[in-house]
């Protein structure tokens, strides 16, 4: 059996995006006959249960992170496998070529999922699904010459539900409903800020679908705030994200990993940046006319956000124009339907 190990972390502080896209990748690999084991620091209970439910194994490291100690702990886990590890996948910003070289003798191949292009890697495959300027040259001198690169949104790791619903996609041409989505944990509390702005009438009266992730510490408070508002529906740990996206005309959210879920279904977004690793993508999407950008979360003026939404209501042609651009951007991902890195791994790349 093709043996895969994934080194990834998740928490309320760093969010759930990394582990969710790795879960998507693990499911794809499982469909091709692979056996997958996650190696992580302590996880939110809901995520632990979800990984097990999908049929993957988990090994938990201690919470404290020290680079070489982490490598030693992973090596000890690898020693416990009866089979040779065919592929190690890494989705963790604190790990670089030093860690990877420690692990290299114990695995056949290494794949890295990155968003930052800010450190060197010793890997055979690298996937960066972001939309940034100078994408093609982004990893020059950061990876070995023989490393296969998979760059840009066409390589986005998306669950099957998004491909299944592609035929239902229509360019948006009105603003009657908005999706509010700030990831699995929303550590900066953006969802609550938006809910309070709706309650105060700062944002225009639309139907708002509020998505609360499984690790959001403010979930109950948000639900309580929304209970008396008829124009708000709350979706806790939503399992029908593609349907919610299709039902919405715009999204208010962060430009994180779920950006590509919205894009492949043609949904224009108003971005609020909540992490440093989102800055480059947020500004590149704005410059290309593929999203609106309100800036860094601490600097967002909710009155300005309200005026923007009102303006889009009055000029729906701007929404339609952006929606069509987004659909065009994701056309190659729609055609592929299988992540190109998966094909590379199973079509001789790891032989």
Give the number of residues written for the chain: 351
Tokens representing 294 are: 């309100």
Question: In whole angstroms, what is the distance from residue 131 CA to residue 328 CA?
Answer: 13
- In the numeric block, which tokens belong to residue 261? 């879920």
Burial class (CB in 10 A: 0-12, 13-18, 19+), 250: buried
CA nearest neighbour of 275 among 245, 248, 254, 247: 254
Is there a binding annotation on residue 159? yes
Rounded to whole angstroms, the Cα distance separating 191 from 178 reads: 13
CA-to-CA separations, 78 to 18, 30, 73, 93, 103, in angstroms, rounded: 21, 19, 9, 21, 9
In this structure, are residues 93 and 116 in contact, taking their beta carbons and an 8 Å threshold? yes
* Residue 260 φ then ψ, to 5°: -80, -25
Q: How many CB atoms lie within 10 A of CB 296?
A: 16
18 flagged as catalytic: yes
Tokens of 282: 């947020």
Any idea which residue has 């889009």 for tokens? 312
Q: What is the CA radius of gyration of the chain?
A: 20
Tell me the C-alpha distance between 136 and 300, whole Å: 32
Q: Determine the 3-state secondary structure of 42 from DSSP.
A: coil
Q: Return phi, psi of residue 70, to 5°.
A: -65, -45
Is 261 part of any known ligand binding site? yes
| Contact criterion met (CB below 8 Å) for 173 and 316 | yes
Tokens at 253, concatenated: 């959210």
Please report, for the chain, how many H helices and E strands are present, in that order. Answer: 14, 13
By annotation, the residues acting in catalysis are 18
Query: Residues within the annotated binding site?
Result: 159, 261
Q: Which residues are annotated as a binding site for substrate?
A: 159, 261
């Amino acid at each position: 059996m093709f043996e895969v190990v994934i080194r990834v972390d998740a928490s309320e502080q760093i969010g759930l995006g990394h582990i969710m896209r790795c879960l998507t990748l693990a499911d794809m690999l499982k469909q091709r006959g692979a056996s997958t084991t996650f190696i992580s620091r302590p996880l939110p209970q809901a995520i632990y249960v979800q990984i097990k439910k999908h049929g993957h194994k988990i090994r938990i490291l201690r919470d404290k992170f020290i680079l070489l100690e982490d490598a030693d702990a992973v090596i000890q886990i690898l020693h416990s496998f009866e089979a040779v590890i065919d592929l190690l996948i890494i989705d963790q910003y604190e790990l670089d070529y030093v860690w990877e070289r420690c692990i290299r003798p114990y695995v056949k191949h290494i794949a890295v999922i990155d968003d930052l292009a800010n450190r060197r890697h010793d890997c055979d495959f690298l996937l960066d699904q972001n939309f940034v300027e100078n994408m093609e040259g982004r990893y020059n001198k950061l990876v070995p010459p023989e490393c296969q690169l998979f760059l840009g949104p066409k390589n986005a790791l998306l669950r099957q539900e998004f491909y299944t619903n592609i035929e239902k996609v229509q360019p948006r041409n009105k603003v009657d409903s908005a999706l509010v989505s700030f990831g699995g944990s929303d550590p900066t509390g953006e969802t609550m800020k938006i809910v309070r702005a709706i309650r105060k009438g700062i944002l225009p009266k639309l139907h708002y679908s509020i998505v609360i992730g499984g690790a959001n510490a403010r979930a109950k408070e948000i639900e309580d705030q929304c209970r008396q508002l008829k124009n708000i529906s709350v979706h806790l740990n939503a399992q029908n994200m593609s349907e919610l996206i299709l039902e919405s005309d715009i999204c208010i959210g962060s430009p994180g990993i779920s950006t590509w879920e919205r894009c492949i279904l043609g949904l224009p977004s108003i971005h609020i940046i909540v992490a440093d690793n989102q800055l480059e993508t947020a500004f590149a999407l704005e410059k290309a006319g593929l999203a609106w950008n309100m800036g860094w979360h601490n600097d967002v003026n909710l009155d300005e956000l309200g005026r923007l939404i009102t303006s889009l209501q009055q000029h729906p042609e701007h929404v339609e124009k952006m929606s069509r651009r987004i659909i065009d951007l994701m056309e190659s991902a729609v055609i592929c339907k299988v992540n190109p890195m998966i094909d590379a791994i199973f079509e001789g790349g790891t032989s």
